[in-house]
Amino acid sequence: MKWAPVITYTGAAETLPGGLSTTVYQPQEGAIYGANTLTNVAESTSLNLSGKFTKPVTTDDVTLRIVASNELKDSLGNNNPNYKKREIYTRTLAWNEAFDGEIKQTIPNPDGLTNLNFEISSSSNVDWSKIKWTPQIETIGKNGSRQRTAGATHYILFADMVSEGKPVVLASNVSTLTVTPSITMLPPTVNGMVTMTVKTVDKLLGKKTYTFSGGSLSGDPLIITGISAGKIWIDYFYSGNISGQTVTSAATVSGIGTAQAGFYAQTENKGFGTMYRGWGGFVYNASEGRYGKPIDESLLKLPDSKDAKMDPLTMAFVPIGTDQSSFDRWIGQRAELYLTAKEAGASRLTEQNVILTNPFRTY
């Protein structure tokens, strides 16, 4: 069925970096069909990478990465003493570099590692829905046989909008702009790396990565030159999760004063997908009388124990995952249960073709 809801919030509308709205949330913005899973390939000392990659001009650099590993556990479930994991391919495209074509590369794999993880990342959020990578790996066996395998791409993004910033208005061109970061977090239990960016709607003006420790940020100001008049956005992007902390993010801008800055963090998948721009999805089982009632939100959670017995035919809530045969939708227990930015599919979980018979008919 056609299903493409648009969420509109009240308040003054602004355009964020990347062209996204502060008040109108379109479903296609969250249609990011990635999968954080390993792709298993045949053992080979050389890997032939191919596949199309599309990236428009973005508001930050974008990096493609392949991480290879062998098995973490042995056949008995014990830790593998010979476990190896390393990056075998990386390519970074600058924020103002557009690309729409084939990526081909022969990658040495001397250890014959067979588990591959394909990643797309940036130091801040970009318009992720417009970035696509469909990698394929060809392996060559010892007997010369060739095998081609499609890879699943994992988007590393900052889906948790802890706080939204406000634009800073520059009334005239500025030759030198100094931006001094300021973040406080309570309780001060989070450590990691934070990148501060300064952007317009469609350009990256500057960025700097800081160490975040003990609830405070340390480092020198960011200095940018040759800034045109107009609106700029200052945001922070934290490479970790925020859980229960209160974050206050700001920046001091030379000639302006204190500015309200946005703060974005990574988040774990709780069964709803990436939740980028707040969009996610799930399968809801309408049996046991649930079909005639509003969705019971208390049921929308994964089991508390990893050892819990799960039956996809009876569970009220089932996560959806990217269809790894097409990479253009999320699917549930069956292919008929799917979700895209424009459509949703419903289905029985058991027999699909049901023939009704007349119990009073005499045969």
The three state secondary structure string of 260-320 is ECEEEECCCCCCCCCCHHHCCCEEECCCCCHHHCCCCHHHCCCCCCCCCCCCCCCCCEEEC
DSSP per-residue string spanning 227-252: EPSEEEEEEEEESS---S-EEEEEEE
The pLDDT value recorded for residue 356 is 60
Q: Which amino acid is at 9?
A: Y
The pLDDT value recorded for residue 349 is 72
The pLDDT value recorded for residue 354 is 55
Q: Which amino acid is at 100?
A: D
Degrees (nearest 5) of the Cα angle 8, 10, 16? 70
Quick one: which of 18, 19, 20 has its CA closest to 7?
20
The pLDDT value recorded for residue 361 is 66
Three-state secondary-structure class, residue 28: helix
DSSP per-residue string spanning 145-175: -EEEEEPPEEEE---EEEE---PEEESS-EE
Quick one: which of 282, 232, 277 has its CA closest to 254?
232
Q: Which of the residues in the chain have pLDDT under 50?
A: none
DSSP per-residue string spanning 323-348: -TTTSSSEE-SSTTSEE-SSBB----
The pLDDT value recorded for residue 76 is 80
Exposure of 63 in the CB half-sphere (CA atoms within 13 A):
12
Quick one: which of 282, 320, 345, 333 has its CA closest to 33?
320
Structure tokens at 261: 């800055």
253 by Cβ neighbours in 10 Å (0-12 / 13-18 / 19+) ranks as: buried
The three state secondary structure string of 167-230 is CEEECCCEEEEEEEEEEEEECCCCCEEEEEEEECCCCEEEEEEEEEECCEEECCCEEEEEECCE
